[in-house]
Amino acid sequence: MSTNIKADGFAPRADKNTVELGDELCPKFDEHGLIAAAVTDFETGELLMVGYMNAESLRRTIETGEAWYWSRSRQEYWKKGGTSGQVQEVLEIRTDCDQDAIWLRVKVHGNGATCHVGYRSCFFRKVNSNNSGEVWLEKAEAAPVYDPQEVYGNKP
Amino acid sequence: MSTNIKADGFAPRADKNTVELGDELCPKFDEHGLIAAAVTDFETGELLMVGYMNAESLRRTIETGEAWYWSRSRQEYWKKGGTSGQVQEVLEIRTDCDQDAIWLRVKVHGNGATCHVGYRSCFFRKVNSNNSGEVWLEKAEAAPVYDPQEVYGNKP
């Protein structure tokens, strides 16, 4: 069954079986009206960022084919790349069994980076640990793609 | 700087520069004490699930090398695969710039599926749409890996 998101918005939440196995998109937004979106590079599978969408940003993403989020820190709509040029062309959108998360598979435009501190992925650090319980972070990307200070004054 | 998570737990949140660029793991848990974890297959980059961890489940994941979550629906610790055998061997853990999300890169054991309804990934459906604004879901995996009814009575 299809829903018309221009006319009706998203379908209301249905019974468990329909949500988990059906063909109707009925996303579950949390108490803040948000749903988590994990964003991976379409070619490499690298996780680039995790963002949050409200219904309107999800609708804009589906309609325009470019990723829109809701900025929790700035409390405003945020088209990724609107300032930086790091626009995410959305090649595939998926949702999970209980429809409380979104997966965007994207091609990154502009300088090819996603992170506002200059790296390709926001997940540019890995967690290291030893048997004594010591934990620390280590760079997983050799070098940043760009210098945020030079490009846009370190604004996301 | 390393933190001893056996002795001291995770490091407290630090200033923006330290959080974003430093080598100290100081995860930001939300108002429910949780952090989102996106889980991808180490080999293919396929997004398998998005789960939530509290500090203790993140600590267990780091210490044991197998993924532990906090089940929001059951309000209890949840070792993935404890019932199903679909244990996630964690080959790499990353965090993002503001340290409010976790990326687990895993190898799935057992029957190789992750989703409780039988598919390899919980994200087994993609969102289709047309220019009129109609939206519907379509299977992105040809067939389930297993029949949950046969294997463990459809319990996650």
Residue ranges covered by each domain of chain B:
16-152
Residue-level pLDDT at B155? 52
Query: Model confidence over B27-71: pLDDT tens digits?
Result: 999 999 999 999 999 999 999 999 999 999 999 999 999 999 999
Q: Do B62 and A135 touch (CB under 8 A)?
A: yes
Instruction: Count Cβ atoms below 10 Å from residue A111 Cβ, excluding itself.
Output: 15
- Label residue A65 left, alpha or beta by phi (over 0 means left) and psi (-120 to 50 means alpha): left
Q: Does residue A26 have a known ligand-binding role?
A: no
Give the CATH architecture of domain B16-152: Roll (3.10)
Instruction: Count Cβ atoms below 10 Å from residue B31 Cβ, excluding itself.
Output: 7
Identify from B73, B129, B145 which residue to disrupt to test chain A contact, counting A C-beta atoms within 10 A and taking the largest count: B129
Question: Nearest C-alpha of chain A: how many angstroms from B78?
Answer: 17
Q: Look up tokens 């500090």; give the residue.
A: B55
- Rg over alpha carbons for chain B, rounded to the nearest Å, is 17
**Phi, psi at B57, each rounded to 5°:** -70, -35
Tens of pLDDT along chain B (156 residues)? 789 999 889 999 999 999 999 999 999 999 999 999 999 999 999 999 999 999 999 999 999 999 999 999 999 999 999 989 999 999 999 999 999 999 999 999 999 999 999 999 999 999 999 999 999 999 999 999 999 988 766 554
Q: Look up tokens 């990724």; give the residue.
A: A80
- Nearest Cα residue to B47 out of A92, A32, A103: A103
Mean model confidence pLDDT for chain B = 95
The identity of residue B11, as a single letter, is A
Residue-level pLDDT at B117? 95
**Claim: this prediction has a pTM higher than 0.90:** yes
Query: Model confidence over A113-132: pLDDT tens digits?
Result: 999 999 999 999 999 999 99
| Residue B40, both tokens | 């991808």
CA–CA dist B111, B128 (Å, integer): 29
